[in-house]
Amino acid sequence: MTEIVLGVGASHSTLMNTHWDQTFHKDRAERFRDALAEARDRLAAARPDTVVLVGSNHFRGFWLDLIPSFTLGVGECVASGESGTPKGPQRVDVPLARHLAGSLVEDHGFDIAFSARLQIDHGQSHAIQYLLDGLDVELVPLVVNVFAPPLPTLERCERLGRAIRETVLSFPEDRRVAVIGSGGLSHRLPWPDWRAPHGDDEEFMVDAWLNGRENWQDYDARRREIIRAAEAALTPEFDEEFLSLVERGETRRLTGLTAGELEKRAGNGAQEIRTWLLMAAALGHVPGQRLAYEQLPEWLTGMAVAVLDPAHPASPASPEGQS
């Protein structure tokens, strides 16, 4: 019998690795780091065999020569290892991954892409580094396109999460499965719409995204300079609203937002909440527990951690004051 035993949503930022000594709000950063450790302990206590790891792509594993909306790793998986995140081969639960790929197509009508040699970046390896540290688990990696428009709709992501739930629970072998959504919350990256770059920096970024498949490291130094020069643009009001929905098990209420509306409200980086939404749907939208929310402009991001435990659902947060 296969069970889904825990869900975790967690923000990521490589600046946590590369610029800790330049982090001004150390108290906030340490609270976020402690929340990651608590979530890791909750995962350890849940004893998963396999983690469905839902993350975004930052143009180190996918390039503009081919950008599927959803890509499932069904064989080899290699982490790119940028900015101090884990590098090299990752263990994949191939039987469960291939069961998912087949059933999502045949039973649920999702023409999901798959890769037998998937390269992931910090959109997932940050979670491997902090949430899965020391845990003896295999992965089913799922990469969601959140940065190369047109993007999959929020409604489509939620439906995929529900389909993954049904497919995992139908797996004929015994598995204890956890689901992690890695990304968000509000932030704005100095990344262009690839279809209409303006100025040297934006044209450089699009060139890196299009031509970096064989030499992405050659672009990284200037990419980092462009990102570090960006002004932080956090939207704590949106983050609080989103986390309240997580706590109440109501993240599906956001599925009516378009990508443009979401970017206007919380920045282009907020498109990563698709990973949380998908995770929450895979957990049956059980009410979650917020472990941390910190505004960290040094990391350009509203940083949060939450846990969804189907065995011990959190008491739904009060909707008072929420829009």
Residues marked active site are found at: 122, 187
- The helix, strand and coil proportions of the chain, stated in percent and rounded to the nearest 5, come to 45, 20, 35
The Cα–Cα gap between 276 and 292 comes to 15
Looking at the DSSP assignment, which residues form a beta bridge with residue 120?
Answer: 79
Element (H, E) at 182: strand 175-182
What are the b/e assignments for 268-286, b being 16+ CB within 10 Å?
A: bbbbbbbbbbbbbbbbbbb
Torsion from C-alpha of 154, 170, 286, 256, nearest 10 degrees:
20
Q: Determine the Cα–Cα distance for residues 308 and 180; give it in Å rounded to an integer.
A: 10
* Bridge partners (DSSP) listed for residue 310: none
Q: How far is residue 202's CA from residue 193's CA, in Å, rounded to a whole number? A: 9
Quick count: other Cβ atoms within 10 Å of Cβ 136? 10
Rounded CA-CA distance 273/22 in Å is 27
Q: Is 194 exposed, middle or buried (0-12, 13-18, 19+ CB in 10 A)?
A: middle
How many alpha carbons fall within 13 Å on the CB side of residue 126? Answer: 25
